[in-house]
Structure 1
Amino acid sequence: MHGSAVFLIEFGAIILGLGLLGRLAGRLKFSPIPLYLLAGLAFGEGGLLPLVASEEFVAIGAEIGVILLLLMLGLEYTASDLVSNLRTQYPAGLVDAGLNALPGAAMALLLGWGPVAAVVLAGVTWISSSGVIAKVMGDLGRLGNRETPVILSILVLEDLAMAVYLPIVTALLAGVSLAAGSVTLAIALGVAGLVLFLAVRHGRLISRFVSSDDPEKLLLVVLGLTLLVAGIAQQLQVSAAVGAFLVGIALSGEVAEGAHNLLSPLRDLFAAVFFVFFGLHTDPASIPPVLLPALALAVVTAGTKIATGYWAARRAGISAKGRWRAGGTLVARGEFSIVIAGLAVTAGIEPSLGPLATAYVLILVIAGPLAARYTEPVATRLTARLRQRAAAASPATAAADAQAAGQSGGQAGGPADGQSDGHGETVSEGARP
């Protein structure tokens, strides 16, 4: 009884605190995610008042939060939208991998950590946080923007790439044979392909199976199906987030609309728990020793993510403002990066890799929502100022050119004021500098 009472007190305090922080963020007109993370730091390992009794429940709630975020993201789009976007945006996925994985690998090699650690840190810097980005786009009301399909295509390509990357990293860390690693990789790819095939080809049948006029039954069936598919996908070395996203893609029409309305409050609750959980498992004392390399890596890869989104949106014909919004939205790293770093820490590859990855993700998971909100207006203002400077400089340049031309004409015996230049044009006094 005493343990359950402590659990209720702790968890109730967490939820109440999240509600108050959400109100504060609403008044300040920015995403509450950074506040949730800082709250987790304050009450986590090495924080002001560590929470113990509710830790296991918060961990489960965090997993559900990521799953619901991706499910709700999938409900916004149809299977045909997904396939067409993947076909047109796969070059953006290649650019994304090249620009954002290489800095992580280079940092690990510069620190002398070896090739295996380089592969791990490359994954940490490559993958954006689907959970954070989904929450930010919802908070900013951008789910219907023209650049959103481009962002989603990059996120889905990253998540599908994880079906290949994670088995490879696991095999490298475990030192297993090439044959065993190939079997794991084949299983992961097969499961991801099967779920995608069912979502695209049989989405209508799934929608009919789920459909119900009773909101209670619809909620239970959709939530149960999503958790089941996510769990099976994760058990077979595929991201649970990918499974949840594809379930959302498979549902369409009235079913998708009804599920969206019913699950929105649950998504908001468990998404907030996810961000708190991330902070709870970060020891503030482990951050200062690796803060400088983590900060340098964060600055570089924030720039490469912005470049990736800008390039992909430009390729899709999006306006300049939409390009900057796409780039800024992709900056945040989160759940996948922590999972990848956790594999390396468990394997004992490099003791400093875990704290570096945690500090890096913490910086970008806080900066990510701010970048999503302010990249476009800041870029627009800078562009306008550069244009104003160019416009201010152009009259002086034109005057100098005209003066040079006048001097050249005078030396060559050019026409005098009011006389013809030989081509039917008259040079007037006002035309001279």
Structure 2
Amino acid sequence: MDHLVLEVGLAILLLALVGLLSAKLRFSVIPFYILIGMAVGPHAPKLGVFDFRFIESGPFIEFLGRIGVLFLLFYLGLEFSVGRLIKSGRSIAVGGTIYIAINFTLGLAYGFLTGFPLNEVLIMAGITTISSSAIVAKVLIDLKRTANPETEMILGIIMFEDVFLAVYISILSGLVLSGATSLGGVLLSALYALGFMLLFLIIGRRVVPLLNKALNIRSNELFLLVIFGFLFLVAGFSETIHVAEAIGALLVGLVLAETEHMKRIEHLILPFRDFFGALFFFSFGLTIVPSELGGAVWLSLGAVVITLIGNFAAGMLAGRAAGLSAKASSNIGLTIVSRGEFSIIMANLGKAGGLLAIIQPFAALYVLILAILGPLLTKESKHVFNALNKVFKLDRRDRRKRRQPVPSDNS
């Protein structure tokens, strides 16, 4: 700890350098953050006389990474609104249900087929089900697809995933962290966590007028102190009652999203989200033992394959159910295939619960592969669709519609 400031400074500089590299390559920055953490972490292999393992203050950087998780989920809470989900209509509810059902079922089946115990299977299913909203949003903006017809469905599925994530982490935190072993204990822990969430949201929405007045603070310094205090207090309290601290952060974001200060909070919190979020991925890389990744290669590759299949099928079904074209529907599945922050959060939950050590390298390889493949598949979605369409005739329904006569104005 004697050189803490120097270590953190070097870590931030490395993150900046790999961030610039990813921008030059026009690629997602998340894999670079994880890889550089692996390269300089305490488990990195020594290359001859060169030893890049300069991080000796891992616990402190890991704590900064935990703050990054809080900011990531808090910001997502600000972006998400229960009212917006309700107004999005039946199509998003149907599409989100299809997406979660297919990917979660495949994740469960894969976990059981590979012979893992129940808790590990549930963690693996969570890792493989939830896409990375950070990568998806960045790809949509970079490729200028925000106005595409399928983008509303993509964003709707992401919102639906947020709700599923909140409920699922609450259930798993009761099962994995509290050590409940009986079915009754699991259900009681889940109801306890869900009850806390529901109560917090109900009370939170009722006190929105009071929050509007309380947050009417001119000074940005004092404003942020109040927001940060609220965020960390609720997140910390959540952890004490066996609800993941990340869910506490999400709940705070959901409540504050209903206030008239939401835009100001969002604007001020964005730099903290990006800075601490980068440290989160970096700290995850520090925990990975590269020598252990070899044991998770086939497990990760198998999960990648079922994720690609599940995402494409779910995107096609969700898009077609919403009346989108085959091409637009295929874009849904190819765009939301990336995995990132939420998969890592699930892996960390498994680590905190003392589950099998292979979960960490599995999640690391899985996220790395899909964080690279996801943006690439999205960018080349037109060519991917054309190739698959030649084999499976995905646009047959669209061609039948085009052949139908259009009623004249005089009829």
Question: Which category describes the TM-score, using the shorter chain as reference length?
Answer: 0.7 to 0.9
Larger RCO, structure (CA 8 Å, separation 6 or more): 2
- How far did residue 12 of structure 1 move? 0.7
Secondary structure at the residue paired with 1:146? helix
Quote the Cα distance in structure 1 between the aligned partners of 2:196 and 2:144.
33
Quote the Cα distance in structure 2 between the aligned partners of 1:222 and 1:322.
40
Residue number in structure 2 paired with 1:303 = 309
Is structure 2 residue 9 aligned with structure 1 residue 12?
Answer: yes
Residue number in structure 2 paired with 1:63 = 66
Quote the Cα distance in structure 2 between the aligned partners of 1:25 and 1:352.
28
Is structure 2 residue 262 aligned with structure 1 residue 256?
Answer: yes
Which string of whole-angstrom CA distances, capped at 9 and with x for unpartnered residues, describes residues 194-219 of structure 1?
Answer: 23324444434333322322222222
- How far did residue 382 of structure 1 move? 4.1
Among residues 198, 209, 212, which one is paired with 2:217 in the alignment? 212
Residue number in structure 1 paired with 2:404 = none
TM-score (norm 1): 0.75
Residue number in structure 2 paired with 1:73 = 76
Quote the Cα distance in structure 2 between the aligned partners of 1:322 and 1:368.
16
Secondary structure at the residue paired with 1:223? helix
CA 341–203 in structure 1, closer or farther in 2 if over 3 Å, else same: same
User: What root-mean-square deviation, in Å, do the aligned CA atoms of Structure 1 and Structure 2 show?
Assistant: 3.7
**Identity, % of aligned pairs?**
32
- How far did residue 297 of structure 1 move? 1.5
Residue number in structure 2 paired with 1:153 = 159
CA 244–341 in structure 1, closer or farther in 2 if over 3 Å, else same: closer
Residue number in structure 2 paired with 1:50 = 53
Among residues 30, 35, 38, which one is paired with 2:32 in the alignment? 35
- 61-70 vs 203-212, greater mean Cα deviation: 203-212
Is structure 2 residue 194 aligned with structure 1 residue 189?
Answer: yes
- How far did residue 97 of structure 1 move? 3.7
- 101-110 vs 56-65, greater mean Cα deviation: 101-110
CA 334–269 in structure 1, closer or farther in 2 if over 3 Å, else same: same
Is structure 2 residue 271 aligned with structure 1 residue 265?
Answer: yes
- How far did residue 355 of structure 1 move? 3.6
Among residues 235, 257, 260, which one is paired with 1:230 in the alignment? 235
Quote the Cα distance in structure 2 between the aligned partners of 1:375 and 1:191.
44
- How far did residue 273 of structure 1 move? 0.9
Letter of the structure 1 residue corresponding to residue 71 of structure 2: L
Quote the Cα distance in structure 1 between the aligned partners of 2:288 and 2:25.
26
* Runs of 5+ consecutive residues of structure 1 not aligned to the other structure: 395-433
CA 309–244 in structure 1, closer or farther in 2 if over 3 Å, else same: farther
Q: State how many pairs are aligned.
A: 387
Quote the Cα distance in structure 2 between the aligned partners of 1:212 and 1:76.
22
- How far did residue 337 of structure 1 move? 3.8
Residue number in structure 2 paired with 1:122 = 125
TM-score (norm 2): 0.78
Residue number in structure 1 paired with 2:99 = 96
Letter of the structure 2 residue corresponding to residue 118 of structure 1: V
Is structure 2 residue 263 aligned with structure 1 residue 288?
Answer: no
Secondary structure at the residue paired with 1:331? coil
Is structure 2 residue 368 aligned with structure 1 residue 362?
Answer: yes
- 294-303 vs 203-212, greater mean Cα deviation: 203-212
Residue number in structure 2 paired with 1:332 = 338
Letter of the structure 2 residue corresponding to residue 180 of structure 1: G
Letter of the structure 2 residue corresponding to residue 156 of structure 1: D
- Asked if 1 retains the 8 angstrom alpha-carbon contact of 2:28 and 2:372, the reply is no
Secondary structure at the residue paired with 2:152? coil
- How far did residue 19 of structure 1 move? 1.5
Residue number in structure 2 paired with 1:420 = none
CA 352–71 in structure 1, closer or farther in 2 if over 3 Å, else same: closer
CA 315–235 in structure 1, closer or farther in 2 if over 3 Å, else same: farther
Letter of the structure 2 residue corresponding to residue 225 of structure 1: F
Residue number in structure 2 paired with 1:22 = 19
Quote the Cα distance in structure 1 between the aligned partners of 2:10 and 2:159.
38
* Runs of 5+ consecutive residues of structure 2 not aligned to the other structure: 46-51, 400-411
Secondary structure at the residue paired with 2:243? coil
- How far did residue 157 of structure 1 move? 2.7
CA 141–195 in structure 1, closer or farther in 2 if over 3 Å, else same: farther
5 Å-filtered alignment, 1:167-206, equals 167=173, 169-170=175-176, 174=179, 176-206=181-211
- 357-366 vs 64-73, greater mean Cα deviation: 357-366
CA 32–339 in structure 1, closer or farther in 2 if over 3 Å, else same: closer
- Asked if 1 retains the 8 angstrom alpha-carbon contact of 2:174 and 2:242, the reply is no
- Asked if 1 retains the 8 angstrom alpha-carbon contact of 2:43 and 2:287, the reply is no
CA 194–174 in structure 1, closer or farther in 2 if over 3 Å, else same: closer
Which string of whole-angstrom CA distances, capped at 9 and with x for unpartnered residues, describes residues 145-176 of structure 1?
Answer: 533531332222321331453046428x9463
- Asked if 2 retains the 8 angstrom alpha-carbon contact of 1:129 and 1:333, the reply is yes
Letter of the structure 2 residue corresponding to residue 67 of structure 1: L
